[in-house]
Homo-oligomer: A and B are copies of this chain.
């Protein structure tokens, strides 16, 4: 399969690496909104201007769109679905229905197939929420994130006056995880589920007490959480916080049996040294599935819920039954 990357940030670089781990995948090029002459890829794959992408439509089986969910993807994915089979990792949960409708119309009208919201959450975590709720109709779901870097929260801190750099880790609280695993189906508040750990490089003359207060009182981002703020140097930031680890847990506990007197607990967890590299690995497997579905005549917008698992694998149905079933 011939893949191309549209948007070359952390996720785009991750896709570039992931393609090399899949023998049936080949990278045609990277499309960027920057001046292509200024962009150097990790592996030497060619770089083209984003606005020339339509010229390459006969050479690309699936275009993997690596833009941001806030402003890029709502425009990019429907636009590009007119000329390409596309995948994105749109993750603004509240707007998924609208995004799906826009992409479905664009892809469907032009005979293409599209997959939105692929990755791990939404993505693998969503799949596990679905499988677990289908199998345990009477139960309760919990999703915990971390320990990992939240880019959105890190960016929010960086916008505070006097902050030079920041890194925010979302940390699940062990006592909450234990309570969930015990099968008692607790009601947990936002504050009980996650901590927020902030590492901040402040300008030399900045008022650190004010910065710490502004972080801890920031609505939506921090005010509902127990938050720690640690001031560090630029050197410490580069040395100790350069990686983008992440992960989390999806747990469902349910009641089974004649009197619902037995408990079943299903737990799925990820521990990722690199969030963008792992997300990219999911996107490449999804590209494979999407092409198999397109070859069977499917068009329009899909989600991971629509992908038969076998389609994600490079192995044949016979090999899967023999070795993985």
Contacts and interface: CB of A to CB of B under 8 A. Distances in A.
Copies, count: 2
A271 B281 contact: no
B129 A324 contact: yes
Contacts of A138: 21
A76 interface: no
A212 interface: no
B281 A135 contact: yes
Interface string A292-325: 0000000000011111111011100110111011
A42 interface: yes
A14 B42 CA distance: 54
A273 B182 CA distance: 12
Interface stretch (A49-57, A79-87, A93-101, A148-156): A93-101
A309 B131 contact: yes
B273 A264 contact: yes
Contacts of A282: 135
Contact of A321 (B254, B305, B317): B305
Contact of A21 (B14, B97, B256, B314): B256
Interface string A96-119: 110010000000000000000100
Interface stretch (A67-75, A120-128, A169-177): A120-128
A209 interface: no
Contact of A266 (B137, B263, B270): B270
Most chain B CB neighbours (cut-off 10 Å) among A258, A314, A325? A325
A308 B270 CA distance: 22
Contact of A320 (B305, B314, B317): B305
Contacts of A324: 126, 129-130, 133, 305
Contacts of A181: 271
Contacts of A256: 14, 17-18, 21, 273-274, 277-278, 281
Contacts of A135: 124, 278, 281-282, 285, 312
A267 to B, nearest CB: 5
Interface of A: 14, 16-18, 20-22, 42-43, 93, 96-97, 100, 117, 122, 124, 126-131, 133-138, 181, 254, 256-258, 260, 262-274, 277-278, 281-282, 285, 288, 303-310, 312-314, 317-318, 320-322, 324-325
5 contacts: A100-B321, A134-B288, A265-B272, A268-B269, A305-B321
